[in-house]
Amino acid sequence: MSHQSLLDVDDLTVSIDRATVLEDVSIRVEAGETVALIGRNGAGKTTTFRSVMGQTSIRNGSIRVNGTDLTDRPSRERIRHGVGFAPEDRRLFTTLSVEDNLRMSTWGKADTDEDGFRERRDRVLEIYPEMEAFLDRPAGQLSGGQQKMVTVGRALTSDPDIVLLDEPFEGLAPSVREQFRDGVTRIKDLGISIVVAESNVRHAAEIADRAYVIERGEIVTEIGRDEPITENEEIERIFEGG
């Protein structure tokens, strides 16, 4: 194959405790795209992300980023190849300050010094200006919405080519959600690719260029750029009545 995608998940099969949780999952993301991974809770969205981040045992298939095969490489190498991850349950380091939380991913990538970090931090602050006010506070003292911002910010300070956002809007009040969506739009404007895992079709439709629909660990359909996400048949079947 001559064409090389930014992220290429190919025929991924993953088992946890002998149960197959992902089967033949294939996802491709090109540079600058925002792609949604839509499915109900437990469909396999988070497992897909965890697999891309190297935290599951992969039985079959491959994960390539910018052409590099990372399938059997340690988890920590993801960030160096340009993948940032903002988990659904935030997973901030609650005893550390917000700024140190952001710093952690630059330390991990080890490609920049303190000046470089400040530059990246300021770019995050342009996306979420309200973060400036609580940079010095321990992350554990923030509200849920603020913590979500820091989680995304932490993924961005590694200067990624692609970020995986797991349910970024979940649990947010409507006003905060709008703010947050604007933030995602600004990330897109920076040219960073996004994969967003969503159990809310409307939220996904608002930001994504195209989508994959996942059900019971399998991709059941792919929704192209020219097709409205909310009107897809599979989507209507899976999410009927809600």
Nearest residue (CB) to other proteins, 195 versus 235: 195
Nearest residue (CB) to other proteins, 77 versus 236: 77
Provide the minimum distance between the beta carbon of 159 and other proteins in the complex, in angstroms, as a whole number: 11
Provide the minimum distance between the beta carbon of 32 and other proteins in the complex, in angstroms, as a whole number: 23
Nearest residue (CB) to other proteins, 170 versus 215: 170
Compute the distance between CA of residue 28 and CA of residue 51 in angstroms, rounded to an integer.
14
Residue type, 240: E
Nearest residue (CB) to other proteins, 1 versus 110: 110
Nearest residue (CB) to other proteins, 28 versus 80: 80
Provide the minimum distance between the beta carbon of 193 and other proteins in the complex, in angstroms, as a whole number: 18
Provide the minimum distance between the beta carbon of 50 and other proteins in the complex, in angstroms, as a whole number: 9
Provide the minimum distance between the beta carbon of 175 and other proteins in the complex, in angstroms, as a whole number: 29
Give the residues lining the site for other proteins (CB under 8 A). 53-55, 74-80, 85, 87, 91, 93-96, 100, 103-105, 107-110, 154, 158
